[in-house]
Amino acid sequence: ARRVVVAGAGMAGVQTAVALREQGFTGTVTLIGAEPHQPYDRPPLSKAVLLGKAEDSAFDVDFEALGIELRLGCAALGVRPGAHVLDTEAGPVPYDVLVLATGAEPIRLPGAEGVPGVHRLRTLDDAERLRPVLARRNAVVVVGAGWIGAEFATAAREAGCAVTVVEAADRPLAGALPAEVAAPMAAWYADAGAELRTRARVERVEPGTVVLDDGTRLPADAVVVGIGARPATAWLAGSGVTLGEHGEVAADAHLRTSVPDVYAVGDCASFPSGRYGERLMIHHWDNALQGPRTVAANIVGAATGEAPAVYDPVPYFWSEQFGRFVQYAGHHASADTTVWRGDADGPAWTVCWLRNGRLVALLAVGRPRDLTQGGRLIEAGAVMDPRLLADPARPLKAA
Ligand code: FAD
Query: How does pLDDT run across 148-190, given as a tens digit for each residue?
Result: 999 999 999 999 999 999 999 999 999 999 999 999 999 999 9
State pLDDT tens for residues 59-81.
999 999 999 999 999 999 999 99
Q: Give the pLDDT score at 303.
A: 83
Q: Give the pLDDT score at 113.
A: 86
The domain at 108-225 falls in which architecture? 3-Layer(bba) Sandwich (3.50)
CB 139 within 8 A of CB 161: yes
Which positions of the chain have pLDDT values less than 70?
none
- The sign of the torsion formed by the CA atoms of 247, 288, 291, 240 equals positive
Q: Give the pLDDT score at 208.
A: 96
Question: Residue with the nearest Cα to atom 45 of ligand 1?
Answer: 284
Q: Give the pLDDT score at 111.
A: 85
Q: Give the pLDDT score at 1.
A: 77
**Three-class SS state of 91:** strand
In the chain, where are the structural domains located?
3-105+229-304, 108-225, 323-389
Q: Give the pLDDT score at 305.
A: 85
Q: Give the pLDDT score at 160.
A: 97
Q: Give the pLDDT score at 55.
A: 86
Q: Give the pLDDT score at 344.
A: 93
The CATH number of 323-389 is which of 3.40.50.2300, 3.20.20.100, 3.40.50.1000, 3.30.390.30? Answer: 3.30.390.30
C-alpha 288 to ligand 1 mean position (Å): 8
Global model pTM greater than 0.90:
yes
C-alpha 342 to ligand 1 mean position (Å): 34
Q: Which atom of ligand 1 is nearest to the CA of 75?
A: 19
Contacts of 107 (CB under 8 A, 6+ apart): 227, 228, 229, 230
C-alpha 105 to ligand 1 mean position (Å): 8
The reply to whether domains 108-225 and 323-389 share a CATH topology is no
The CATH number of 3-105+229-304 is which of 3.40.50.20, 3.50.50.60, 3.40.228.10, 3.40.50.1370? Answer: 3.50.50.60
- Residue 119 beta carbon below 6 angstroms from any ligand 1 atom: no
Angle at 228 between CA 259 and CA 224, to 5 degrees: 135
Interface predicted TM-score of the whole assembly (ipTM), two decimals: 0.99
CA distances from 310 to 167, 229, 242 (A): 38, 26, 19
